[in-house]
A and B are shown apart, each in its own frame.
Chain A
Amino acid sequence: MAQQLTATNDFVIKFANVNGSGSASANELFARAILRMGVPVSPRNIFPSNIQGLPTWYEVRVSEAGYLGRRGGLDMIVAMNPETWQRDLAEVAPGGYLFYDSTRPLPPEMFRDDLTSIGVPLTEICNATYSDPRQRQLFKNIIYVGALSALMDIDPAVIEALFSEQFKGKEALIDKNVAALNLGRDWVQKNLDPDICKLKVAPADAVGDRIFMEGNAASALGCVYGGATVCAWYPITPSSSVAEAFESYCRKFRKEPESGKSKYAVIQSEDELASIGMVIGAGWNGARAFTSTSGPGVSLMTEFIGLAYFAEIPAVIVNVQRGGPSTGMPTRTQQADILSCAYASNGDTKHVLLFPEDPRECFDHSAAALDLADRLQTPVFVMSDLDIGMNRRLCAPLEWDDSRKLDRGKVMTADELEAGREFGRYLDVDGDGIPYRTLPGTHPSRGAFFTRGTTKNRYARYSEEGADYIENMERLVRKFDTAKSQVPQPVLRRAEADTRYGVLYFGSTAPSMDEALDRLGNEGLHVNAMRLRAFPFPDSVAEFIAAHDRVFLVEQNRDGQMRMLLCNELEIDPARLVPVLHYDGTPITARFIHGAIRDRLAQYQVVPLERAVS
């Protein structure tokens, strides 16, 4: 028998369940309880495109050190789904644990002798207590949380407090859940040696004031704070919860007190074509508007995005990326829409992309995107993904400066028009490529113009003159250059020692990258790191690449799309950018990044620093 895995506040546990069995809330309860004990956790839903019956998993990484990326590997499986039993079992590291329902005797081939098997007769306990089949199913989940809490030293008072908050005002439900919890705890305490499980949770103080939130809810809240009044969307995994959360926050914050009327409009449209059309119509008419979607939706929106670029209309698109192409892996994560968003549309176009790393930045970037779209009069993408969007993630609390004004950009007012100020819709008066616009209905006789997707001159008159076309297209490039200084700037993390190697990464890769950098650093392998937060790339990105012999580019797609974008936009020799690619649909792990960079550095014959010194 392998040495039993022994760890406190540092392990990975995975729950294997059947979709629709009510396991999700019990599993989240488990994760939250650990969080409440002051120990950081990062849970991940691994779910099928299905409502009921197919396998689903919930993986919880417990890390007092605060590593929130997916670690890779597994220390304990809670095997509640016979269908996936064998593959679940195979994932557990030697010395790890199998937690299972021991009501029925199982044949020896269902076990591994290098694992500690912990059987609790969950069904038997349930059947003895409950007669209603749905109750039996739901409380079985709570009973295993109770059993695990006893095995891992999770404080039951913390769980009871969570019940009280969840079922506030429904005392009967609180009592029922506490009773179920105790059924599991009592059975373990009566029948098992508490030290059979050496994965323990101990109170710590490593969470601080951080919040535990899904990126999609944070994006939605960013749109509320950023002043969006129109949301048009079409249901698509993994982005649907953005619009749903927006509506729910609006019901809370955007009702006129006296009348109860809404200071927002949400339309579930007939398709993504209509969603983006409505956003563009609202943006043209001066309301802040956004849509949320995923890759296939962006494909459909592409024609309209070209219109918004060329006619210069503000629009925000929250793209919660999933595995592509086509329907791809609808319930898995990727960063594979970089190019399709950066260059969406026929003709020469470039779009502003923002890359949030966690829910906090989903909030910040969504609010910023609404300002940027108005300021730049162009579509702005918030490039979230399923890993950030649909999982609760520990992140810095959300902040808002009450003195902050909505930046409406260059909108000429009725007074300015009345005073005789010259108006040319596509006239570059300030040299930054950004023209003035007027909103429909502003002035009885001045400032009206015709918006079109065809070519036009600087006064918005239809023109097929080459000179007019080129002047306009060059101004759009100038405008895109202006955007460089207005988008969120990259974040630099310097290695502890000088190095000729750098790494670029972005979005949901961030927590795994942070961990990989720590591990590389501990091994004396030093790499400077820059987290990209936006396209167009600020000048500091080119400078970073120029300052290193080789730069790793870590991304979650097959073709190295960010690498292509960098090579194309900054005219970088592709040989200097080394792709590190992970794209099987699971979130990238620190182990993967660490391994890939370490192996590459070995090929380049980099000697770890302390070894070189000693």
Chain B
Amino acid sequence: MTYITKPKLHHPSLKRNAVGFTRRDYEGQVSTLCAGCGHDSISASIVQSCYEMAIEPHRVAKLSGIGCSSKTPTYFLGASHGFNTVHGRMPSVLTGAHLANRELIYMGVSGDGDSASIGLGQFAHVMRRGVNMVYIVMNNGVYGLTKGQFSATADKGSVAKKGAVNNDAGIDLASMAILMGASFVARSFSGDKAQLVPLIKAAMSHPGAAILDVISPCVAFNNHKGSTRSYDYVRHHNEALNRLDVITGSAPITAEYEPGAMVEVEQPNGTTLRLRKISADYDPSDKAAALAHIQEQDNVGEIATGLLYLASGRQDLHANLDTVETPLNRLGEADLCPGSAALEAINKGLR
């Protein structure tokens, strides 16, 4: 970590995006995480995504649970409201916040302990409900703040820094999210910004429950030989399925991609995802095939990354509840209170 305070002045020649903000406007405070932490790369990718998508920072609400990952919302989008909730329970708070105001963009940030161990229940249910959000799991397989215990996503047989072997089956949050009904499921690696940034942008443009399981090595406790979450291990076992562009109506935002077949998927809110296939026969709209592929890759020790699953036609929570377009937090007395005459009628029926 660093003790340097970030300068507030921006260089006047910094480029501005379509809504007039510089990249710096999307940053937060200086990170207090360890130097080299994968989480900081994810924060930087979030900053880049929001800048490139020209989202007004105050239109984003960022919520997190507890743990190293959940500290990161302090380090990006400093002009957004943030909420560091309780351990494993960010999904319910995010759900409630979303019910109150459907117009903001909701970003849930969590870790593997937060989502797969203590918070597995809320993780499952927030996916089931189709809450319109970007849910980012910064997945390193260990508890960092409490110094290196295994989390529930640690692979069976992986070895802790102090030599302990994990005997419990690891939970794959991406497969789980697909099963639970998430409509956008992706996996990426904190060390692969070229893949991660378009995925974050695609997730933000997706009108439903979008989850990104981002493998993010813990340099302090899980970056050694024998770990299946180390930089080296993940680099060698990363099987990217596809690369993404997001088209938001105006010019497409593109990143540098390897060549491959291209598919365009239009989403219900008008945005289009342009998918460049790397694995030629992988179809992310096929739920069963997606699950099978993730499992097959896992069987041979590989990690499937990219857009794993994209559901078509699924509705989000507000659509299911058929709530009014006006955010509920803006409704006043006239909308909410039936008044004394209605009450008198109720009284009458109770005599």
Contacts and interface: CB of A to CB of B under 8 A. Distances in A.
B336 A229 contact: yes
A441 B81 contact: yes
A440 B84 contact: no
**Residue from A443, A445, A452 whose CB has the most chain B CB atoms within 10 Å:** A452
A177 B339 CA distance: 36
Contacts of B324: 256, 259, 261-263
A404 B59 CA distance: 32
Contacts of B328: 229-230, 263-265, 282, 287
B350 A274 contact: no
A286 B329 contact: yes
A169 interface: no
A280 interface: yes
A270 interface: yes
A280 B96 contact: yes
Contacts of A438: 81
A399 B344 CA distance: 8
B340 A282 contact: no
Nearest to B318: A265
B336 A263 contact: yes
Contacts of B52: none
A227 B332 CA distance: 8
B80 A277 contact: no
Chain B interface size, as a band, is 35 or more
A285 B89 contact: no
B293 interface: no
A107 interface: no
Interface in A49-72: none
Contact of B84 (A207, A227, A400, A452): A452
Contacts of A406: 332-333, 336-337
A263 B333 CA distance: 12
Interface stretch (B71-79, B273-281, B303-311): B71-79
Nearest to A286: B329
A21 interface: no
A451 B99 contact: no
What 7 pairs across the A-B complex have the smallest Cβ distances? A281-B96, A277-B92, A287-B100, A278-B96, A440-B81, A285-B100, A286-B329
B100 A441 contact: no
A420 to B, nearest CB: 17
Nearest to B21: A444
Interface string A273-293: 111111111111111010000
Nearest to B124: A270
B93 interface: yes
Contacts of A213: 350
Interface string B278-303: 00000000000000000000000000
Contact of B100 (A260, A281, A303): A281
Contacts of A265: 99, 321, 323, 328
A401 B96 contact: no
9 contacts: A209-B347, A211-B350, A227-B337, A229-B331, A253-B338, A281-B94, A406-B333, A442-B58, A445-B58
Interface in A276-328: 276-287, 289, 303-304, 307
Contacts of A454: 84
Nearest to B87: A303
B104 interface: yes
A287 B104 CA distance: 14
B233 interface: no
Given A264-B328, A277-B122, A441 B97 contact: no
Nearest to B73: A450
A211 B329 contact: no
B89 A277 contact: yes
B333 A227 contact: yes
A443 B79 CA distance: 9
A286 B323 contact: no
Given A211-B350, A265-B321, A287-B328, A225 B56 contact: no
B322 interface: yes
B23 to A, nearest CB: 16
A451 B328 CA distance: 21
Given A263-B324, A270-B125, 4 more contacts: A232-B95, A261-B324, A280-B85, A287-B328
Contacts of B61: 285, 440-441
A287 B97 CA distance: 8
Contacts of A277: 85-86, 89, 91-93, 95-96, 122
A225 B329 contact: no
A225 to B, nearest CB: 5
A382 to B, nearest CB: 18
Contacts of B58: 440-445, 448
Contacts of B97: 281-282, 284-285, 440
Interface in B191-243: none
B101 A261 contact: no
Interface of B: 56-59, 61, 63, 73-74, 78-86, 89, 91-101, 103-104, 121-122, 124-125, 129, 321-325, 327-329, 331-333, 335-340, 342-344, 346-347, 350-351
A229 B329 CA distance: 8
Contacts of B327: 287
Contacts of B78: 448
Contacts of A401: 340
A82 interface: no
Given A230-B328, A265-B323, A281 B95 contact: yes
Contacts of B63: 281
A230 B100 contact: yes
Nearest to B70: A452
B129 to A, nearest CB: 8
Interface string A501-529: 00000000000000000000000000000
Contacts of B350: 211-213
Nearest to B337: A225
A261 B103 CA distance: 16
A304 B86 contact: yes
A202 interface: no
Nearest to A392: B350
B193 to A, nearest CB: 25
A287 B335 contact: no
Nearest to B84: A452
Contacts of B351: 207, 209-212
A264 B336 CA distance: 9
Nearest to A228: B336
Given A262-B322, A400-B337, A442-B58, A286 B100 contact: yes
A405 B333 contact: yes
A230 B336 CA distance: 12
A275 B94 CA distance: 12
A449 B93 CA distance: 17
**Residue from A253, A265, A271, A287 whose CB has the most chain B CB atoms within 10 Å:** A265
B153 to A, nearest CB: 21
A286 to B, nearest CB: 4
A364 B231 CA distance: 60
Given A212-B350, A269-B92, A398-B346, A282 B79 contact: no
B59 A254 contact: no
**Residue from A209, A260, A282, A453 whose CB has the most chain B CB atoms within 10 Å:** A282
Contact of A278 (B86, B99, B322): B99
B82 A450 contact: yes
Interface in A168-214: 207, 209-213
A402 B122 CA distance: 40
Nearest to B325: A261
B54 to A, nearest CB: 13
**Residue from B101, B323, B329, B340 whose CB has the most chain A CB atoms within 10 Å:** B329
B340 to A, nearest CB: 5
A224 interface: yes
Interface in A79-130: none
A287 B101 contact: yes
A423 to B, nearest CB: 12
Nearest to A35: B351
Contacts of A284: 83, 93, 96-97, 100
Contact of A441 (B59, B74, B124, B125): B59
